[in-house]
Structures are given as structure tokens and as C-alpha cells.
Amino acid sequence: MDLKLEVVVIPVSDTDKAKAFYTEQMGFRLDADFPVDDSYRVVQVTPPGSECSIIFGEGLSSAAPGTYQGLLLVVTDIVAAREELIGRGVAVSEPFRDVSGVFHRPGSGERKAGLHPERASYGSFASFEDPDGNQWFLQEITQRAPGR
């Protein structure tokens, strides 16, 4: 049985501001914008090349805006992806790796500055936030682990 992650709902405080950020600055494709009424609106956007979308709007989540951490976008060249996003006006951190060498942790206390020394897949990260403070990470993967 396949179980495919299709959508992640993220909490935002201003739907129009979030829509502009994700479509204009991030370059996500606008899939839908359904303004049902003043208390219910669904906006769906999809990152380029992704099969999973994000949804935000009004009346969709009880989570507080800006509370999501660890949303992950995989890229094959973190330097180029970071430069492109900065060129679009997104404030992206410098590349880093976790001191454990395994996966990023919340906050910046366990980060080592710079790319993974061998540019190993899964080893380099950069981070940014949407207008509400939902935290995203870029992770460089050039060769997938077996079975991935």
C-alpha cells in the first residue's frame, strides 16, 4: 500500500501576505484559492518539482501562526538554491551543518557554520522563515540513501 504525503497545512495570520510570499518570493505554483466566506478560505501552493503541496488560509488550523518548525525543502545545490531565494528577497541563513552530522535541530546552538566538508548528501542546510515565522530548511541531497 502506498501512503503519499500530499498536503501540509500551515498556520498563517495573513492569507494574502502568505500567498504573495509563497508564490512571488518562493516561486511556488498557485494551485487553488477558494474564498468560501470571511471565516473560511483555502489557498494551496506547490513548491517547484514537489508532489506535496502546502495549504494555508482562514479557518483551517487551530495552531498559532508561526509555530511550525522543521519544514524541509530538498535541493540538489544548496548554494544555487540559496542564491536564487535571496535574489527573490527571501532572508536565507548561511549554509550550516549540525554538529552531530545527522540532522538539523531547532535553534542555532548545535550548528556548525559552512557546508558539509565533503558536500555529502543530507549534510548541508540553510534556513529561512515565512512572514509569520514558520521555519523552513533547505537540505542538500545529491544522492539518495538506498531505498529512498
* Alpha-carbon gap, residue 51 to 138, rounded angstroms: 16
Give the cell for residue 131: 512572514
For residue 60, give the DSSP letter.
Answer: S
Work out the percent of the chain whose per-residue pLDDT is above 70: 95
Query: What's the predicted TM-score (pTM) here?
Result: 0.91
Which residues does residue 144 pair with via DSSP β-bridges, in sequence order?
none
Average pLDDT over residues 38-51: 96
The full set of domains in the chain, from first to last, is 1-61 (3.10.180.10), 69-148 (3.10.180.10)
- Mean pLDDT over each residue of the chain, to the nearest integer: 93
9 vs 42, 101, 106, 128, CA distance in Å? 10, 29, 20, 18
89 vs 10, 85, 92, CA distance in Å? 21, 6, 9
pLDDT at 105 over 90: no
Which residues does residue 33 pair with via DSSP β-bridges, in sequence order?
43
* Alpha-carbon gap, residue 47 to 137, rounded angstroms: 13
Average pLDDT over residues 87-99: 94
